[in-house]
Amino acid sequence: MPPSWSALSTTSGFFWSEASDEVINNKTVIVERLKGFLPIGTDITAADRLEKVTDRNGTTIFAGDLEVLSVQRIKTHLEVVVRKAE
């Protein structure tokens, strides 16, 4: 049975995307990575998923099932890297 995901909380943060060229199977492709800053104390791990990222007006910026790849604690915030789940 596939996992069942549900929204547990809403948190304020700052997200952006970065794109880079990578060679995969002898083809150059553009890979997009979504990164974000979240407040220290946010309950998030690399086993979590994000339902969507919206702006302060509620407009969806990044939609879909977003898999958290890493969470790193910096002095003033958490830095997360996510990608569209496969």
Output the CA angle 19-21-22, nearest 5 degrees: 120
Residue from 50, 46, 48 nearest 13 by CA? 50
Q: Is residue 24 part of a domain?
A: yes
Q: How confident is the model at residue 2 (pLDDT cuts 50, 70, 90)?
A: low
Q: Domain count of the chain? A: 1
Taking the whole predicted model, whether its pTM rises above 0.85 is answered as no
Q: Give me the domain span that covers residue 52.
A: 14-84
What tens digit of pLDDT does each residue of 6-48 get? 667 788 899 998 888 888 889 998 878 899 999 999 999 998 9
Q: Is residue 6 part of a domain?
A: no
Percent above pLDDT 90 for the chain: 43
